[in-house]
Structure 1
């Protein structure tokens, strides 16, 4: 951009001064490179204009004006340090640019450092590599070539030993003399400039980097011994110093490192370390250097397991005393610092309870074998002392004891325990005991399975490293000279109150409303108390609506919903510590009001039942009407009755005149009823299921001399009418005569006793056939 601007200015200046070849305006020199911190002068030729000019540096006006009394103006720049700058010469009257130039700076390499070192870091030979590093203010690029020049007493003239495009260079030591002082110069060369660093003189002993030493570590119960042995011949011949670095191995979290300085004598040195944790892994590494030489590389890390430190190990024995049981005994839960499982060897723990009296202790020889960190014993209401003994591989390691006060013993406890939480920690404070104390023991537990305890000389403490959102029980006990007082319990407190419990919802929908109910299942004793419930509901791709109720409500009715529409709903429970949201539930409103559908269904069912009942009654009445046959005389046919000798048989038709009569009642005309004196066979009368047909044989009678022509008959309108016409004198059946002899034949399922005919008569008989009923 600056180059383009410069070309534009030069072109503009040329156009202004066009036509004046002798009186031109320009700035010289063009695109100059100068060394950082040097001086330079810029000349502006002003032959083309009269009056004054002024200069700008990177578009900023320089606070001095120069008169163009002569044909040019000179700008002097002293101690110029900018990496690049654009200078312009402008007419003070017209503000026209007369010319411009760009000045760039370069620097020479500096801060040169060189070392003699080894390719093999495990075997000591003569150093075979020579490496130099330097700094350059200009950003290295492929356009800049660096050359390392060296001169020594054996070579007065400089010789090139290494070339590079970066700010370091390595070569073999064959090109230099490792026994003489040497002078090193670095040359930087670009297309437009070249710069050489100031010469630096080096002594071989000051730049010799020795190989790492050998390291051994021995552990004991109270210290660790670190031994360093040099592997470089120079370290044996000259004074050498070393640094021992070690750190504790942890699974997670930051690693703390410690460094101890040590001086080797004749290539050997020892370092004793006494501050360490028992039965933990530690890593060690070491490096050495000649007095004025560079540090060697760190040796390989060595890991060792420390032993149990008897001097620093403390059991920190403590006890928890429960309330007396029904038998008067008190349960004492003894606990102590657990020895790390990484400690090698066999550890045995025994507890002995001793009845305590002032200046006298009655010893109980019974020892209780315990676990690695806890033990339970029972004591009565008297004062006792519980003693713990720890053996390591059968040898006594440590002995400690703790006091258990008698029930009701006058040892004033602490009062007014206050607890609060801060970022997961519990802050505990209390009022001091009335009696002089040596300190306070604070113990806390989550769930009562595992206890933690700490001692404090103050009336306040902070409990850290606690489980999140869990309740803790805390007890503060005053400590006296050789006794422990009665503990005071604080109210249970949560490290942090969590969000409300899980919210479960149910939805019962109607056409224009929905009943949303919910319940909250607690996530634990530290769940937050719900302050408000908010019900969110909406149609898909529509704005969300919400209704808020207080914590006492467990349901709400959503009104003014759209029928037959799908909604989504969820409930949010809000506490002072957070919010819990239920899962989103989908429901669809009814097309019609369910209550209206129920009423319509009930009414419709009642109407259907009434219609069915009415239809059934009509059907029963119709059936009864159809079961009363009415004979149609117009459909009857004339036949002769069989002879009396054929009266045995069955009655093939049902009575139709009177339903109360027997199934075997016969049909007679009036004359027949008057003349006949013989009744029906008793065998047929006794069986109502029997059907008998009376048949008159035509051959038993002679044809009448004057037959009567048949007369039209009318169908009776009812069964009663038809029975009333039988004895009528005008009946067409009465005019019918038969020349056949009288005989009857009975067709029935039961046998019939024939009746003897006392006299011979010639009746006029009519009959009815079943065809009349079928055709009616």
Structure 2
């Protein structure tokens, strides 16, 4: 345990070895005039002990011709100073001794001349003034530093234009020792403000004084010597035919500063009207907007000050719709060593104007331009373009004092990924497809040319898919999607420096697409039309459809075969067709075939009714009681015009007509229908006699075998043993509140397709 702690202590401790000091080197001294002498040296290696440094100053004694110690100073670092006034101008040498507890070390004595190591105080500038009548000159007056004894001095004059870092230096060394000194600074720019500073030193000294405080002065003003650099931007013509022309200009690099210009004169005149004096405008700005007609104009701009005017700069404004030939074939831009370089191909042109401005900046006066000649490439000065901003660059050819059609390109000085991504939205959602739309990124946020868009999408819990489209595409149709499924999607816009994604959206596909819904709606519409058409058919053909689809089963309870004398009197057919002996003639019975049309049945009944009316009017009236004769003899009769399937009937075999005739003719009478019991064996009523006994005798001779036993008819089966006749409420009073019971006639059982006779035919017409 002890050895472990000892080992750790040794590992965490620094063990130093003390050494003797090395001999200091590189001794140098500066004499700050009338302040002190400061010497410095390089101490050498670290001794790890307290070391004392002693600076020894020796002067040379010419009498004994040797160095004599004058004084010393001590310090613990690499410098030491001797203070004024004990600093005579004599020849000195300096040496340094380094000493610690182990040893000491002394340098050689280094001789130094006081005039060589002195550093004077900074001079004081008294004035900086122009001299009237002398151009491009400033007179500078300053006070030299005081020195004893007096000796020649050298002064360095530094000058620069205000708001510029370009410096100029002039050195003035004279043998004169005057305290006040002046100097004429020449070859300056006219009416330009300059900043002046001065520093001085002794003629033999190595060290310059500090710079004086800056003083400013302005040169003499003179008339501008160079014309302005003029350019224009022409707006689209207005409905009135006029157009706005934006003029802008700048001073050339060699031109004096803007303070030398008092204003500008703008003169414009129609090109084809030389006799016109034109119009003049004055401004103190470097821009102006003119409203000019559609014809060609010549513009001139002159800068002026109190000393005179500059040469005029001229520019031609073309007519509206003027077509000029293209002299620029192509333009390229690229960046090299942090500079934008523009190169182009042209023919028969030596002068050009290069114009550039930010793509999103619509302010005409924010455009920059440069005139170039005898070259087809140009390097923009550093700082002319900002990074991550798109610029429109145009090259205009100049020929015959005209400006030709430009060739324009877009360029970025430097690109980076877009600041924001596209904001997508889902549109036109279908069953298996959706359209993703997005807006173009704002020009300020593109930071480079957008090369493509990539759409990433996936279903919930599914694999992410992507589609890439060109930069000019702002929507994409996603296909092969699952129906009724939720999807998420986002879009990435990419340039050469990288990409940026926008927000993620979610959308859900439809259960049905438009085609499915169209088919459904069409099917429903067709069904509704079919049902409507069917309803109309059923309404119009109600009776026909009812006879075909739902034939009425006759109700035996409503079947009338025989009745009381009063009932037959009210039934016009039976009443008028009865003979004196109460029998019904066979010619009064109508037998209807199964396929006979409804209209034929009606016509047949009407004919029978008319025959009965004409043949038996007297007979019917004769048998009617006195109290009912008025009603029965009424001239108005109501005729049933159709035989409804709902009327009671009795089916017979297919030869029913012949059976009826054979059964009726022998005796000229119809026997009463007997009431059926469960075994159909017991007759209940008396036969109904026909009114014509003569016909019964003739028919009785022909049909003597009408005595067949009645068979059971299921259509006439009913548990009710009696039949009660329901008389219509509009019948004569003789039929009201009367009921008759009758038996079912023992006719043969009906079969499918056989002819039938409705027994209600005997009472179709009712007299009122």
What TM-score do the two structures reach when normalised by structure 1? 0.49
Larger fraction in strand: 1
Task: Kindly name which structure, 1 or 2, has the bigger radius of gyration based on alpha carbons.
Answer: 2
Structure of higher RCO (CA pairs closer than 8 Å, 6+ residues apart): 2
Taking structure 2 as the reference length, the TM-score comes to 0.50
User: Which protein has the bigger helix share?
Assistant: 2
